[in-house]
């Protein structure tokens, strides 16, 4: 059963508002990417809709509780189209764009990490499964944006903390949900996830990369000689 008018008594109107914030922020991000790639209006619309709605649709499909809310609630698609129009019409200077993009990306990530995790918990998923759903929800729209923009998705590496921020945010949602305080959980989880994304971009924090083979070249030959003795 998707989140919509029929589930507001369960999920709360605040959930719908947060979900819509994520849709609008991601749609604008998709539009900014389309502008950077010099797409026409059709390209703007497609990229903005995919970015704005992709994470939520993926979340609802994985839950398997009916048609995704983006296709049943009449607000979602027009709101994503508004995000595309804003990015298409409003002139954004490069310096402002470089500052706006990470901020909105962090906001969208925090919002959807919360909505994905919380919805999973409400519909009976275990803590680990709900956290996974939150991370997928938070990063799904960005992955679609990068793929459609002919770019390697940022969550696969060579970037500052992104999926890690969604993971931390989702874990906080579970903790506060189990403590019976979902309201503060929403605020804190979104704030921490967003701030961690922003600070990591500012400080250049990244996860460790794969360790290269220590036994190669001269070191490998020396290791072989030692073993033979």
CB atoms within 10 A of CB 161: 20
pLDDT of residue 100: 75
Average pLDDT of span 38-56: 87
Across the chain, mean pLDDT equals 80
106-158 pLDDT, tens digit each: 888 888 899 899 999 989 999 999 999 999 998 888 888 888 887 777 777 66
List C-alpha distances in Å: 212 to 103, 161, 209, 215, 222: 34, 22, 9, 9, 17
150-168 pLDDT, tens digit each: 777 777 766 778 889 999 9
**CB neighbour list of residue 14: distance below 8 Å, 6 or more residues apart:** 183, 186
Average pLDDT of span 84-95: 77
pLDDT range class, residue 29, cuts 50, 70, 90: confident
Average pLDDT of span 222-227: 52
14-21: long-range contacts at Cβ-Cβ below 8 A with a sequence spacing of 24 or more? 14/183, 14/186, 15/115, 15/118, 15/119, 18/111, 18/114, 18/115, 18/186, 18/190, 19/56, 19/69, 19/111, 19/112, 19/115, 20/75, 20/76, 20/79, 21/107, 21/108, 21/111
Rounded Cα distance between 50 and 44, Å, is 10
Average pLDDT of span 199-216: 70
């Amino acid at each position: 059963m998707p989140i919509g008018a029929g589930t507001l008594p369960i999920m709360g109107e605040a959930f719908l508002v947060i979900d819509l914030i994520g849709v609008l922020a991601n749609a604008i991000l998709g539009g900014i990417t389309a502008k950077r790639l010099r797409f026409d209006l059709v390209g703007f619309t497609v990229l903005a809709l995919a970015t704005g709605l992709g994470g939520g649709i993926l979340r609802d499909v994985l839950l398997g509780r009916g048609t995704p809310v983006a296709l049943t609630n009449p607000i979602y698609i027009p709101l994503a189209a508004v995000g595309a129009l804003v990015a298409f019409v409003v002139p954004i200077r490069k310096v402002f764009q470089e500052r706006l993009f990470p901020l909105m990306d962090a906001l969208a990530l925090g919002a959807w990490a919360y909505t994905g995790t919380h919805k999973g918990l409400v519909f009976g998923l275990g803590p680990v499964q709900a956290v996974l759903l939150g991370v997928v929800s938070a990063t799904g729209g960005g992955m679609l944006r990068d793929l459609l923009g002919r770019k390697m998705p940022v969550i696969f590496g060579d970037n500052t903390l992104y999926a890690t921020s969604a993971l931390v945010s989702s874990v906080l949602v579970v903790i506060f949900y189990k403590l019976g305080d979902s309201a503060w959980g929403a605020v804190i989880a979104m704030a921490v996830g967003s701030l961690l994304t922003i600070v990591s971009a500012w400080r250049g924090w990244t996860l460790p990369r794969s360790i290269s083979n220590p036994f190669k070249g001269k070191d490998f030959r020396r290791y072989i000689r030692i073993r033979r003795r």
